C-alpha cells in the first residue's frame, strides 16, 4: 500500500503506463516494446521505456544504448536515447556481459527504484517491457504500478499461446486490463493467436510476420521502426490501435 502511494506520486506526470507481457520467453516482448515505443515517439508523443527484465536486461542492446544511468545518487536519471527516456539495470551495472544473479527481493527492490526513485517527468506513455514468468517481477508490477493495461505478445505456436493466456489471466485476476494481443512471428490466418484474444476477452491489435531483418536490426542495436518505412508503418498501425482503445 505504502509503495502504491509512492509510485502514484512519483509517476504523477505519466499519462499512460502500458506493459508488454507474456509468461513465455522469446516471443518478442522486447521487440514489441521497443518498436511500439519508437512508433509512439514518431507521432510526437513523449515516451519512456522501462526495461523491467531486471536480471536479464537486454532492451538497451535492441536500441544501441551504451550510456550509463549513473547510480551514485537517487533519483535515477533515465538515459535519453532518440528522444525516449530509457531505464534498465544494464545501464547501472559496470560489466554488461556479466550475469546479474539476484534473488527475488533484490529484483523487486530494483523495480521499486525504477518506479519511485527515477525521474520520468512528464510523459504521454511509459512502456514497460516485462520479463517472462508469472512470479515476483510481473506480480509486483501488477500490484503497485497502476498500469492502464497490458499488451500481450504471443507467437503462433500453441505452447506460446497457452502461456500467454496464463499471463493475461493473471493480469485480469489482479485487475489489470488486457488491452490487446500482438501475434509476433506469425503468418495469417492463425488460430492460436485468435484463441489468446478470445480467451482473454480482447482483440488482436497487431500481426507481425517473421522477418529476419527484425532480428538483424536488434543484433545491430538499430530500431527497425527508425530504419525502414515498412516497419514504421506496421508499428504505427499498432500504435494507432492502442491510441484508439
Ligand atoms: N517478428 C520477428 N521476426 C524475426 N525475429 C524476431 C521477431 N520478433 C522477435 N525476433 C527475435 O527473436 C528473439 C526474441 O525476441 P525478444 O523480443 O527478445 O523476445 P522476448 O522479449 O519475449 O524474450 C530476438 O532475437 C528478436 O530479435
Ligand atoms: Mg525480453
> What's the 116 CA to ligand 2 centre distance in angstroms?
22
Longest Cα–Cα distance in the chain: 51
Q: Domain 2-244 carries which CATH code? A: 3.40.50.300
> What's the 30 CA to ligand 2 centre distance in angstroms?
4
Nearest CA to ligand 1 atom 5: 215
C-alpha cell at 201: 476477452
Q: Is the pLDDT of residue 1 over 70?
A: no
- The model's confidence at residue 8, banded by pLDDT at 50, 70 and 90, is very high
**Predicted local confidence at residue 2, as pLDDT:** 85
> What's the 30 CA to ligand 1 centre distance in angstroms?
7
> What's the 27 CA to ligand 1 centre distance in angstroms?
6
Q: H-helix or E-strand containing 42?
A: helix 29-42
Tell me which of 127, 218, 221, 225 to substitute to probe ligand 1's pocket, judged by most ligand atoms within 8 Å of the beta carbon.
Answer: 218
**Predicted local confidence at residue 225, as pLDDT:** 98
* pLDDT digits 0-9 by tens, 75-127: 999 999 999 999 999 999 989 999 999 999 999 999 999 999 999 999 999 99
Domain spans in the chain, listed from the N-terminal domain onward? 2-244
> What's the 64 CA to ligand 2 centre distance in angstroms?
15
* Rounded average pLDDT over 207-235: 98
* pLDDT digits 0-9 by tens, 171-199: 999 999 999 999 999 999 999 999 999 99
**Closest ligand 1 atom, residue 208 Cα:** 1
* Rounded average pLDDT over 6-35: 98
Q: Is the pLDDT of residue 71 over 80?
A: no
Query: What residues does ligand 1 touch, defined as CB less than 6 Å away?
Result: 25-31, 184-185, 208, 210-211, 214-215, 218
Find, among 240, 124, 237, 149, the residue nearest to 200 by Cα: 149
**Predicted local confidence at residue 82, as pLDDT:** 98
Q: What is the rounded average pLDDT for all residues in the chain?
A: 97
**Predicted local confidence at residue 213, as pLDDT:** 98
Find, among 120, 112, 62, 118, the residue nearest to 90 by Cα: 62
* pLDDT digits 0-9 by tens, 204-218: 999 999 999 999 999
**Closest ligand 1 atom, residue 31 Cα:** 17
Q: How many CB atoms lie within 10 A of CB 122?
A: 10
Amino acid at each position: 500500500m505504502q509503495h502504491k502511494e509512492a509510485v502514484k506520486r512519483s509517476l504523477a506526470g505519466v499519462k499512460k503506463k502500458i506493459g508488454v507481457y507474456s509468461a513465455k520467453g522469446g516471443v518478442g516482448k522486447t521487440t514489441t516494446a521497443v518498436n511500439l515505443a519508437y512508433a509512439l515517439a514518431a507521432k510526437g508523443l513523449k515516451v519512456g521505456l522501462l526495461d523491467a527484465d531486471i536480471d536479464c536486461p537486454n532492451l538497451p542492446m535492441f536500441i544501441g544504448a551504451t550510456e550509463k544511468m549513473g547510480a551514485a545518487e537517487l533519483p535515477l536519471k533515465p538515459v535519453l536515447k532518440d528522444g525516449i527516456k530509457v531505464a534498465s539495470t544494464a545501464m547501472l551495472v559496470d560489466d554488461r556481459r556479466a550475469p546479474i544473479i539476484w534473488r527475488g527481493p533484490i529484483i523487486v527492490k530494483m523495480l521499486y527504484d525504477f518506479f519511485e526513485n527515477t525521474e520520468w517527468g512528464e510523459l504521454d506513455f511509459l512502456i514497460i517491457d516485462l520479463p517472462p514468468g508469472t512470479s515476483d517481477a510481473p506480480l509486483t508490477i501488477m500490484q503497485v504500478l497502476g498500469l492502464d493495461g497490458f499488451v500481450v505478445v504471443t507467437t503462433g505456436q500453441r505452447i506460446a499461446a497457452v502461456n500467454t493466456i496464463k499471463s493475461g489471466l493473471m493480469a485480469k485476476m489482479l485487475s489489470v486490463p488486457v488491452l490487446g494481443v500482438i501475434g509476433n512471428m506469425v503468418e495469417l490466418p492463425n488460430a492460436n493467436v485468435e484463441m489468446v484474444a478470445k480467451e482473454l476477452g480482447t482483440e488482436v491489435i497487431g500481426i507481425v510476420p517473421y522477418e529476419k531483418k527484425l532480428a538483424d536490426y536488434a543484433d545491430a542495436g538499430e530500431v527497425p521502426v527508425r530504419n525502414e518505412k515498412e516497419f514504421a508503418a506496421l508499428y504505427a498501425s499498432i500504435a494507432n490501435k492502442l491510441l484508439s482503445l
